[in-house]
Amino acid sequence: MHNNEQGFTLVELMVVVVIIAVLIAIAIPIYTGIQLTAAESAHDANVRTLKGSASIWSTQQSIEEGESQVIMSGGSFVDGTEFGDYIEGSPPKVPELVQNQYGYDEDYIVTVYSNGAVDVVPGLVNHDS
């Protein structure tokens, strides 16, 4: 009689498991890097949007020579600046992956200077408290 057994040996199964583990070990860092790159791109887009809006806002305002004015902080528009009229919707937030990677707060701070320069920076998380 001819014995015809079918199936995989334990060694063959272990080789497949090892190959899959190696592929996963390679894929996870790549996927994480792609996610961080996307979050950084979203952050850069937020900064460009806020700078553009603040530049338009500043052309219609008068800030004394050598002075500056914070027009957005703590996730909200500073009262009396009417900067919210120049941004559609609520103020953008710093993407969570960017917050975690660089120790930023979720909110941007927008400052306009008398010479028309605009600073848009994420708040820094205070790790001392």
For the chain, what are the domain ranges? 10-124
- Res. 48: pLDDT tops 60: yes
* pLDDT tens digits, 97-109: 999 999 999 999 9
Q: State how far the alpha carbon of 39 is from the alpha carbons of 13, 29, 35, 53, 98, in Å.
A: 39, 15, 6, 21, 6
To the nearest whole percent, how much of the chain has pLDDT over 90? 67
Instruction: Give the sheet arrangement for strand 76-77, strand by strand.
Output: 76-77, 68-73, 104-113, 118-124
Helix (H) or strand (E) holding 112: strand 104-113
Task: Tell which phi-psi region holds residue 60, choosing left (phi > 0), alpha (psi between -120 and 50) or beta.
Answer: alpha
Q: What's the whole-number average pLDDT of the chain?
A: 90
End-to-end Cα, the chain, rounded Å: 80
The structure's pTM equals 0.78
pLDDT in tens, 76-99: 899 888 898 998 888 999 999 999
Q: Would you state the pLDDT for residue 124?
A: 84
2 pLDDT band, cuts 50/70/90, is low
State residue 129's pLDDT score.
45
3-state helix, strand, coil in the chain (%, to 5): 45, 20, 35
